[in-house]
Amino acid sequence: MSDTPLLKVEDLSVRFHTRHGAAHVVNGISYDVAPGEILGIVGESGSGKSVHTLAIAGLLPGPRAEVTQGRVLFRGQDLLALTPDERRRLRGREIGMVFQDCMTSLNPVMTVGAQISEALVLRMGLGRRAARRRAAEILDAVGVSEPVRRLDDYPHQLSGGMLQRVGIAMGICCEPKLLIADEPTTALDVTVQAQILALIYRLCREMGMTVLLITHDLGVVARTAHRTAVMYAGQLMEIGPTASVFTDTRSAYTLGLLRSQPVPGAGRRQRLAQLPGSPPDLRALPSGDPFAPRNPFATTRDAAERPPLRPVPGGDPRHFVAAWYDLPQAFAAQIAATGGPVHPTDLRQRYYPQGAA
């Protein structure tokens, strides 16, 4: 899993030209993903998590979105240097995509079978009948019952969970090396969510597929992703093995996200913590850490100078954080000052700033 990366994103920036000026949607993010790895990418709406994957796939919307700098190396080849047609050829075949809300991301006037076999015929060169057979096999593989009958159904005839499976089937039908799954479970019931995640996990293992799993749901990455990346205001705040990011959290933003999740067993009346303030205006980003204004641990340096991603001190060597402050140290200092209670069994509680709720 730790051989040469399948995908290497280097200092990628994306800008949207709006009527009210340029919005810096993605700001110099770098990471790499090993073959067969699932990288979970979390962040709130507008954090650039979806947009940067559209930039990877070459699907940024029209002339108003523009990659301003960086490289995207896919199997050593810079995708951004390719012609639009070369990038098109990679889509579907090498880079598959699954989108949020298959109610709207499937074509309402084409049968499910036609939408899957279309890719098989046009991209894999299969004959019509072979494509139809293969489409049924793939539907079966993603857990659609009675796949042959479903081929002739239109999207509106299927349930949300089935549609998402069809969406995944379309994403993987040409057996891509990289699957970009953009909020694949957001529109689904919790039980169906778990099934879909298990499916992605299984396909990743069986097909040796690499997955970028984009979500705002921390529970989803915790269950599925090998590594987790946290984005805020178009920047990478923290990235590392999922267990390390969740239990040895080093970014105050990640911590804020974790704190805003309900704790199982805490009852209905628990008060969820919320981050004070709101995300920065992407058209006028501060020069320093964009989260600094909302971060009680931010130092003056965080406010002035953007921190680079660095290995976390005294933690997992594959765990990186963009912060000038040291979260565990800042905590220790705060606990010493306030003498607040510490729950060593719940690391989220331990790291939570006392009195800031």
Residue appearing with tokens 């979970």: 40
Angle (CA) 247-348-312 rounded to 5° is 40
Supply the minimum distance, in Å, between the C-beta of residue 88 and another protein. Answer: 5
Of 56 and 321, nearer to another protein (C-beta) is 56
Of 59 and 80, nearer to another protein (C-beta) is 59
Order of strands across the sheet that contains 65-74: 21-33, 7-18, 65-74, 77-78
From residue 162 to residue 201, the character string flagging contacts with another protein as x (rule: CB under 8 A) and all else as - is: -----x--xx------------------------------
Of 105 and 349, nearer to another protein (C-beta) is 105
Type of residue at 343: H
3-state secondary structure of 327: helix
One residue of 40, 92, 161, 315 binding another protein per CB under 8 A: 92
Which parts of the chain fold into alpha helices (H)? Answer: 49-57, 84-90, 102-105, 112-124, 128-141, 147-150, 160-172, 190-207, 218-224, 242-247, 252-259, 300-304, 327-338, 347-351
One residue of 90, 221, 258, 330 binding another protein per CB under 8 A: 90
Sequence-distant contacts of 282-289: CB under 8 A, at least 24 apart: 282/16, 282/23, 282/24, 282/25, 282/46, 282/233, 282/234, 283/18, 283/20, 283/21, 283/22, 283/23, 283/24, 285/24, 285/27, 285/233, 285/234, 289/322, 289/323, 289/324
From residue 58 to residue 77, the character string flagging contacts with another protein as x (rule: CB under 8 A) and all else as - is: -x------------------
Supply the minimum distance, in Å, between the C-beta of residue 229 and another protein. Answer: 21
Q: Which of residues 320-339 bind another protein (CB under 8 A)?
A: none
Gyration radius of the chain over CA positions:
21
Phi-psi label, residue 2: left if phi above 0, alpha if psi -120 to 50, beta otherwise: alpha
- Of 87-95, 237-245, 333-341, 347-355, which segment contacts another protein by CB under 8 A? 87-95
One residue of 96, 240, 256, 288 binding another protein per CB under 8 A: 96
One residue of 57, 141, 196, 230 binding another protein per CB under 8 A: 57
Q: Is 274 in the site for another protein (CB under 8 A)?
A: no
Of 176 and 290, nearer to another protein (C-beta) is 176
Q: Which of residues 97-136 bind another protein (CB under 8 A)?
A: 97, 99, 101, 104-111, 118-119, 122-123
Positive or negative, the CA dihedral 327, 328, 334, 337 is: negative
Of 118 and 281, nearer to another protein (C-beta) is 118
From residue 284 to residue 313, the character string flagging contacts with another protein as x (rule: CB under 8 A) and all else as - is: ------------------------------
Comparing CA positions, the residue from 204, 212, 221, 160 lying closest to residue 182 is 212
- Report how many residues bind another protein under the rule CB under 8 A: 29
Of 94 and 305, nearer to another protein (C-beta) is 94
Q: Is 159 in the site for another protein (CB under 8 A)?
A: no
- Of 83-91, 217-225, 229-237, 249-257, which segment contacts another protein by CB under 8 A? 83-91
Which run of H or of E encompasses 39? strand 38-42
Beta bridge partner(s), residue 8? 32, 73
Of 89 and 202, nearer to another protein (C-beta) is 89
103 in Cβ contact with 188 (< 8 Å)? no
Q: Which stretches of the chain bind another protein, using CB under 8 A? A: 57, 59, 88-93, 96-97, 99, 101, 104-111, 118-119, 122-123, 154, 156, 167, 170-171
